[in-house]
Structure 1
Amino acid sequence: MPDFRLKVFYSAARNLSFTKAAQDLFISQPAVTRHIKNLEDQYQALLFERQGNKIALTEAGELLLHHTDRILQEYHALNYEMHLLHNDHVGQLRMGASTTIAQYVLPPYLARFIEDFPHADISMLNGNSRFIERSLDERTIDLGLIEGIARMPTFTYTPFMEDELTILTAAKNKIGLNGRLTIEEFMTLPLVLREHGSGTLDAIEHALVSRGIKLRDLNIKIYLGNTEAIKLFTQNSENLCILSRYAVAREVQQGLLRPLTVEDIKFTRSLCFVQSPGPQMAMTIRFIDYVKKLAQQASPLTF
């Protein structure tokens, strides 16, 4: 097992907070301070600069972080491969998934994976696509799963599933009773959308631009940062919304929301794995391969 002091330092360096490091590792803040002080004494170098209530890495701290990152990755790879000798998949995977994937797409795959690999240590955080990319860049997660458009040139984006965004209204509304809207109707009717930074909004904006339409040309009443909130808002108003088919399948089946189409406009996007540059954790590769295989076998969602 790697020196626990390195784990403490790594968490403090990534969070730039002794308090958060203590929370992450379930130890006291004085214990964090003590471990950091031991490392500083060992290497005869200051690792953090104290700036009021904040801390920043020194040059020595940056160097130690670089090597600690590699040491911890090698340790996880060693742990994984040694257990493979007994056909036992043991390892850690810290994932981050954007809202639609985390709530409506990933859970069945995650349940299957944990059933097949019960000794895998998996955690997942949830946020919009840009938050997940930022978390991956900061190394607080090992793997991202997002909807929408690739933005970070140094990252690798691997599609694993196609998704279609659907225009919907409350089933009780008299909007588009034939199931179709003209472009003019679509641009005039009130609309509720996901917040800026979400993969959903990025995909919508991308599709509209291809038709020469900008977001400001639409009658947007409100942006909401939660898919469930958008569904409930739409069910109780005369607004349209645009959400993933995976997110609204139950409401459409129950007759609460009604899907609509707009002539010559289709909102589609790829759901992607996102990886930062450099060597990948063995458990990360295993999970990607597993989900891609299941996704290929799954029937597309239609209604």
Structure 2
Amino acid sequence: MIDFRLKVFCSVAHNLSFTKASKELYVSQPAISKHIQELETEYSTRLFERMGTHITLTPDGELLLSHAEKILKQYKQLDFEMNLLTQRHIGELRLGASTTIAQYVLPPYLATFQQKFKQIKLSLINGNSSDIEKAVEEHRIDLGLIEGCSRQIHLHYTPFMRDELVCITSTRSRLAKLEEITIEELKRIPLVIREQGSGSLEVFEKALGTRQLKLSQLNIIMQLGTTEGIKRFLYNTDSVGIVSIQAVSSEIADGKLKVIEISDFDCEREFCFVQNTGQTGGVESDFMRYMTRKF
């Protein structure tokens, strides 16, 4: 029922690339070009400015994009509500999750959700929390799942799970003899943390602030873009890392990593769903209810 040309147009507009739209929609690039040409012919206007290998939206293209996004959203809601009448769950759900959630929390729930709702097409992208918020804003995904504590005023956040950041080290490290340290001792120990923009780092910085400390006062020897990178780094150094307990439970159970307590220092957070303000209903609401019932 949906005019596929509008879906093609939105993909090209968001990616500013015919090639990326082709890969995203699993349609040949000539077919992508044909759909755009048909729209331009129908509305007697140019939707994109072509500058060599680069394209940008024209003012007319911006106008069409604002309407196309609303139309596609309404079609999606229509499909969902019509299928509810016969208790069928069908549609597409584009998810985005910050790194820790995507790697360590979400996969089992995606698997069971897809088994239960076989006619819902799931896709997942991952990045740091700010990447996912941006993807939600740009309508590249329907629902985000993020860590961290910052809030964008034009987005809506719904907590679904509590988490804790812990100090860990390799059991082969000389630091493994430590059971508990003070915050002052932490300042002197070689430390590896996540990159700027990650929810984990944001939460850690906020917790430090409650003790009147800044990152610059710590002995940070490395910032890495993934928790897996931090774990592998720790296996080969005498240092500690700050990571989600969700990410290291199996390594702790296997005796590869251990937690070093930091006295009088709490570093807790909530994982949240993130949506555009005013976005309700649809398959994403089903998924949120499903996840919430699990926790």
| Interval containing the TM-score (normalised by the shorter chain) | over 0.9
- TM score, norm. by length of structure 1: 0.93
Please state how far the C-alpha of 1:187 moved relative to its aligned partner: 0.6
CA distance in 2: counterparts of 1:55 and 1:280, whole angstroms: 33
User: Who is 2:79 aligned against?
Assistant: 79
Higher mean C-alpha displacement, 90-99 vs 169-178: 169-178
Structure 1 unaligned blocks of 5 or more: 296-303
CA contact (8 A) 1:191 1:240 kept: yes
Please state how far the C-alpha of 1:178 moved relative to its aligned partner: 5.0
User: Who is 1:300 aligned against?
Assistant: none
CA distance in 2: counterparts of 1:8 and 1:101, whole angstroms: 30
* One-letter identity of the residue aligned with 1:79: D
SS in 1 for 2:86: coil
CA distance in 1: counterparts of 2:92 and 2:17, whole angstroms: 23
* One-letter identity of the residue aligned with 1:10: C
SS in 2 for 1:161: strand
CA distance in 2: counterparts of 1:234 and 1:97, whole angstroms: 25
Does residue 183 of the first structure (1) align with residue 198 of the second (2)? Answer: no
Please state how far the C-alpha of 1:235 moved relative to its aligned partner: 2.0
User: Who is 2:202 aligned against?
Assistant: 202
Please state how far the C-alpha of 1:151 moved relative to its aligned partner: 3.2
Higher mean C-alpha displacement, 175-184 vs 64-73: 175-184
Superposed counterparts of 1:1-303, under 5 Å: 1-175=1-175, 177=177, 179-280=179-280, 282-295=282-295
CA distance in 2: counterparts of 1:24 and 1:38, whole angstroms: 20
Q: 1:272-292 CA distances to partner (integer Å, 9 max, x unpaired)?
A: 001112333510111111111
SS in 1 for 2:73: helix
Higher mean C-alpha displacement, 214-223 vs 103-112: 103-112
Higher mean C-alpha displacement, 170-179 vs 259-268: 170-179
CA distance in 2: counterparts of 1:266 and 1:294, whole angstroms: 25
- TM score, norm. by length of structure 2: 0.96
Aligned CA RMSD, in angstroms, stands at 1.4
CA contact (8 A) 1:142 1:281 kept: no
Q: 1:159-199 CA distances to partner (integer Å, 9 max, x unpaired)?
A: 11110011011113343635100222111010111111111
Q: 1:25-61 CA distances to partner (integer Å, 9 max, x unpaired)?
A: 2222222222111111111111111233221111211
SS in 2 for 1:131: helix
CA distance in 2: counterparts of 1:183 and 1:227, whole angstroms: 22
CA distance in 2: counterparts of 1:109 and 1:269, whole angstroms: 20
CA contact (8 A) 1:148 1:203 kept: yes
CA distance in 2: counterparts of 1:38 and 1:169, whole angstroms: 59
SS in 1 for 2:177: coil
Structure 2 unaligned blocks of 5 or more: none
Higher mean C-alpha displacement, 275-284 vs 118-127: 275-284
CA contact (8 A) 2:176 2:258 kept: no
CA contact (8 A) 1:168 1:241 kept: yes
Please state how far the C-alpha of 1:126 moved relative to its aligned partner: 0.8
* One-letter identity of the residue aligned with 2:4: F
CA contact (8 A) 1:165 1:268 kept: yes
Residues 25 and 183 (structure 1), Cα distance of their counterparts in 2 relative to 1, 3 Å cut: closer
Please state how far the C-alpha of 1:84 moved relative to its aligned partner: 1.8
Higher mean C-alpha displacement, 79-88 vs 65-74: 79-88
SS in 1 for 2:125: strand
How many residue pairs are counted as aligned between the two chains? 295
* One-letter identity of the residue aligned with 1:291: M
Residues 281 and 62 (structure 1), Cα distance of their counterparts in 2 relative to 1, 3 Å cut: farther
SS in 2 for 1:238: coil
CA distance in 2: counterparts of 1:85 and 1:170, whole angstroms: 55
Higher mean C-alpha displacement, 199-208 vs 274-283: 274-283
